[in-house]
Amino acid sequence: MTSSLLTAGRASAAALVSLLALVTACSSTPPAPKPSPSLISPSISPTQAPSSAPASGPAPSSPAPASSHPAAAGPQPCATRSLGAKTGISQGAAGSTYVQIVFTNISGAACTLYGYPGVSFAGGSPVSQIGLAATEDPTTPRQLVTLAPGAVASALLRIVTAQNFGSRCHRATASYLQVYPPNQTTPIYISYSSSACSNPLHLLTVDVVKPGSGG
């Protein structure tokens, strides 16, 4: 019995030593190291957006709705096919003749004339231009003339007598006035008999288009 008690005492002493060693090891374990400041992410305020994200701005305003009623276009320039032309009042003075060229709007819509008509003599068969076209008279300012259907406008043409140029003229007989309405490329031929110069001499001078027949 004494031997048994001795053995049990030794076992208890061994267990106590092991327990003390375990407690000593736990108390001597060093604390975990704190992270280095360079590894800490900078804090971001809840109201501050990261620099990589665009700051939100005011909501874009909605575009104004397009108008469903575009502005009506005004009258267009008078095309040659929309016009009739004839000579009006004619007067002679000091070696020249002054003739009104009268345009009539023969279309069903208003149109406009602005500036100078192109005028020259014409004749022969086939009909062709004779001499130089009329020089524009700059003394009268241009004005926009609006012609309602049936309305008229006019331009004053001055014709210098061909005989005034003598042998330099190389006279020819014109049967027509070849008239281009302002800003058009198709002419109107008005019957008009006159002496003309086939050489490049300035027999004709034309004024701007004005409202009315020039009477």
The pLDDT mean for the chain works out to: 79
For residue 143, CA distances in Å to 133, 140, 156 come to 22, 9, 14
Q: Identify the weakest region by mean pLDDT among 62-66, 194-198, 207-211.
A: 62-66
Q: Is the pLDDT of residue 8 over 80?
A: no
* Rounded (to 5) percent helix, strand, coil in the chain: 20, 35, 45
pLDDT tens sequence across 70-116: 555 799 999 999 999 999 999 998 899 999 999 999 999 999 999 99
More confident residue, 180 or 20: 180
| Pairing outcome for strands 144-147 and 111-114 | antiparallel
% of the chain surpassing 70 pLDDT: 67
pLDDT value for 52: 41
SS3 176: strand
CA dihedral sign, ordered 167, 170, 171, 177:
negative
Residue 127's pLDDT band (cuts 50, 70, 90):
very high
% of the chain surpassing 90 pLDDT: 64
pLDDT value for 58: 46
Of the candidate CATH numbers 2.160.10.10, 3.40.50.150, 2.60.40.10, 2.60.450.10, the domain formed by 77-211 belongs to 2.60.40.10
pLDDT value for 43: 37
Q: Is the pLDDT of residue 24 over 50?
A: no
More confident residue, 41 or 142: 142
Q: Is the pLDDT of residue 29 over 60?
A: no
pLDDT tens sequence across 30-45: 444 444 433 333 333 3
pLDDT value for 215: 74
d(CA 73, CA 113): 16
pLDDT value for 145: 98
Q: Which amino acid is at 112?
A: T
pLDDT value for 72: 58
pLDDT value for 70: 53
